[in-house]
Structure 1
Amino acid sequence: MPDKVYHLGMNREDVRAAQAAILPGDPGRVEDIAGTPTFEYSKEVACKREYRSWLGYLEGRPVLVTSTGIGGPSTSIAIEELAMLGIRHFIRVGTTGAIRDHISPGDVIITTGAVRQDGASTHYAPLEYPAVAHHEAVQSLVQAAQELEINYHVGITCSSDTFYPGQERVDSFSGYVPRRFQGATQEWERLNVLNYEMEAATVLTMCSVLGLVGGCVTGVIVNRHQKEHISQDDLVLGENNAVQTAVRAMQILTREKN
């Protein structure tokens, strides 16, 4: 039996030849995702630091659900070590703040590419290298949202290393946004960017560089044009719609690979 990968605390025997992983940020969401009715025979296989992993089966095929923690650095470790264990298909699932008027809480955003306002992805490729989703992942996510009748938007995401200044938030401790980020949200909107989040650029860049299949779907929990405060109802709705879409998409994606 091979040694366990250092951070995730798993080896190849633990993952049961799985080739696919759904990646939430929050370890608290892992059990809920693996416990959706679509999954069968789910169980926890590892929990170390911010990385919690459950293994379940979609139509008889093993699929991991592994948390990445918040942001690019911890996400990059998860992808590296999962790839060492044989994972080749990744779908990030999370929550997001929309920056376009026509996008509502509860909608999902299927990312085709990401603005690389992170740092981790630059350790894998220069900034000139695009952070783009694999076309098969995008197709599977769109098909899943359509089948589930969940309102969806397809387009560009801005991935920021920080939740507050990098996303031009004034609801922080200081209330101050550094000059380099002042007006950034308006500029991204003018460039047809749909939303802010913190991991897509790392996931998509790494998957492209390493020859893996990567995609990202996020549930909208707030529209930044309307307010900064996130209500519990919007949080639950956005999370649930994103999870349903991600699980169904992985079912579609892995079915087509077998």
Structure 2
Amino acid sequence: MPFPNFEGKHDAQSVFTPEDLLAGVEETLPPALVVCYQDAFFREVVETYTDGNTISDVGMGDIYRVNDDVAVMGNFGIGGPATAGLVEEKSELGVEAFCILGGAGCLDPSITPDQPVVATRAIRDEGASYHYQPPEAPAEPSPALVDSLNSELGAAGHQVVTGSTWTTDAFFRETVPEVEHYTEQGVLTVEMEAATLFSVAEYVGVDAAAVFAIGDYVTADDRTVPEASLGLLPELFEPVVGTLSASVR
């Protein structure tokens, strides 16, 4: 059975759009948005880098201004459907560049918890992206944004690793054969959102990227959580914000 089920969907008009949802709304957002999925990290960012006042009463999630160019968003859920909705909605409110900054499972044990991973491609093993792009379309971030993130993170003293990520909806169904296969293929991480972000961003015409800190190690034998799980995230925030600020000016 093809997916999505209805042939020709990608050329068809939507019944309900972000423009319909936001009709009459005059609010605008900063042109770049850092997207956070880990609640504790999001709270830390809000306390450290914002004045604690949300800047949007519209739609999903809580959004705080970091500077004139960049805001940070959290408390909107996880996974592909939530990510697709936020990209459509927030791009309609003026966001031109989105960057995930969050945790991922690591398939490569040579990557250490102090190394950020910048995704260069996402394997589409979720559902939402297929409603935005044909099955054969790649899910890739914006090349210029990836290059800038690599440079900025490197300049901040981080040993950046780049490569593919596996995006799946079903974190309790990451099976042994799949893990073995993607590990053999050199895929670095597994998570729930990157493929959707990249595909929807391409659809609406905005930039997107994803930066991950290691939350756990996933192998065919077991899953282990390092002592420094996700501890790198706070160190990555300022370089990511600097990259986004430069990208939208």
- Contiguous gaps of at least 5 residues in structure 2: 1-17
* Structure 2 match to 1:198: 192
Question: Higher strand proportion, which one?
Answer: 1
- What RMSD over aligned residues (CA atoms) do the two structures have, in Å? 2.7
Three-state SS of the structure 1 residue aligned to 2:54 is strand
Three-state SS of the structure 2 residue aligned to 1:22 is strand
Which of 23, 30, 35 is equivalent to 2:42? Answer: 30
Structure 1 residue 240: Cα displacement: 2.7
Determine if the alignment matches structure 1 residue 230 to structure 2 residue 240. no
Q: Do the aligned partners of 1:112 and 1:133 also contact (CA within 8 Å) in 2? A: yes
- Contiguous gaps of at least 5 residues in structure 1: 169-181
| Structure-2-length-normalised TM-score | 0.81
Q: Do the aligned partners of 1:157 and 1:195 also contact (CA within 8 Å) in 2? A: yes
Structure 1 residue 186: Cα displacement: 1.0
How far apart, in 1, do the equivalents of 2:146 and 2:172 lie?
Answer: 28
Which of 249, 252, 255 is equivalent to 2:240? Answer: 249
Determine if the alignment matches structure 1 residue 78 to structure 2 residue 86. yes
| Percentage of pairs with the same residue | 22
How far apart, in 2, do the equivalents of 1:252 and 1:188 lie?
Answer: 30
* Structure 2 match to 1:54: 64
CA distance change for structure 1 residues 98 and 156 in 2, over 3 Å: closer, same or farther? Answer: same
CA offsets 1:67-108 (integer angstroms, 9 cap, x no match): 242100011111111011010111011101111131122321
Q: Do the aligned partners of 1:131 and 1:201 also contact (CA within 8 Å) in 2? A: yes
| Structure-1-length-normalised TM-score | 0.78
How far apart, in 2, do the equivalents of 1:97 and 1:150 lie?
Answer: 19
CA offsets 1:178-206 (integer angstroms, 9 cap, x no match): xxxx4111111111111101000000111
CA distance change for structure 1 residues 47 and 26 in 2, over 3 Å: closer, same or farther? Answer: farther
Q: Do the aligned partners of 1:31 and 1:54 also contact (CA within 8 Å) in 2? A: no
Residues 97-176 of structure 1 mapped to structure 2, 5 A cutoff:
97-165=105-173, 167-168=174-175
* Structure 1 match to 2:71: 64
Determine if the alignment matches structure 1 residue 88 to structure 2 residue 96. yes
Q: Which stretch shows the higher mean deviation, 151-160 or 97-106?
A: 97-106
Between Structure 1 and Structure 2, how many residues are aligned?
Answer: 228
